[in-house]
Chain A
Amino acid sequence: MKFLKAFGQFWYDFIIGDDWKIAVAVVITLAVMVAAMLSGALSDTALTLIGGALVLVAFSISLAIDVRPKRR
Chain B
Amino acid sequence: MDAATWGLIIATFVACFVEMVEATTIVMAMGYTRNWRSALIGTFAALGALAVVTLAAGYALANWLPESALQLAIGGLLLIFGLQWLRKAILRSSGRKAVHDEDAIYREEVEAAKAAGESKQGLDLFAFMVSFKGVFLEGMEVVFIVLTFGLNADNIPAASLGAAAAVVIVLGIAIALRRPLSMINENLLKYGVGLLLASFGTYWAIEGIGIFRDGRESLNWPGHDLMILVLLAAWLLLSRIFVAVLRKPAVPAPAISNPAGDIAVEVKK
Across the interface, A22 reaches (CB within 8 A) one of B84, B234, B238, namely B84
B209 proximity list for chain A (CB < 8 A): 30, 33-34, 37, 51
Q: A26-B80, A30-B205 are in contact. Are A38 and B238 (CB under 8 A)?
A: no
Residue from B77, B221, B231 having most chain A Cβ neighbours under 10 A: B221
Asked whether B206 lies within 8 Å of A26 as measured between CB atoms, the reply is: no
Query: Number of residues in B with C-beta < 8 Å to the partner?
Result: 34
Bound form: Cα–Cα A16–B81 in Å: 8
Bound form: Cα–Cα A62–B87 in Å: 9
Measured CB to CB, the closest approach of chain A to B227, in angstroms, equals 8
Among the listed stretches B5-13, B181-189, B212-220, B249-257, which one makes contact with chain A, having 4 or more residues with CB under 8 Å of it? B212-220
Which chain A residues (1-34) contact chain B, with CB distance < 8 Å?
14-19, 22-23, 25-27, 30, 33-34
Which chain B residues (227-258) contact chain A, with CB distance < 8 Å?
227, 231, 234-235, 238, 242, 246
Contact mask B193-222 → A, CB, 8 Å, 1/0? 000001000100111011011000001111
Asked whether A48 lies within 8 Å of B220 as measured between CB atoms, the reply is: yes
Measured CB to CB, the closest approach of chain A to B202, in angstroms, equals 5
B213 proximity list for chain A (CB < 8 A): 37-38
Asked whether B205 lies within 8 Å of A26 as measured between CB atoms, the reply is: yes
Measured CB to CB, the closest approach of chain A to B95, in angstroms, equals 11
- Nearest CB in chain B to that of A17: its residue: B84
- Cβ contacts A to B, 27 pairs, < 8 Å: A14-B140, A14-B141, A17-B80, A17-B84, A22-B84, A22-B87, A25-B83, A26-B79, A26-B83, A30-B76, A30-B206, A33-B209, A34-B209, A37-B212, A44-B221, A45-B222, A48-B221, A49-B222, A51-B202, A51-B209, A51-B219, A52-B202, A52-B227, A55-B205, A59-B198, A67-B96, A67-B246
Query: Number of residues in A with C-beta < 8 Å to the partner?
Result: 31
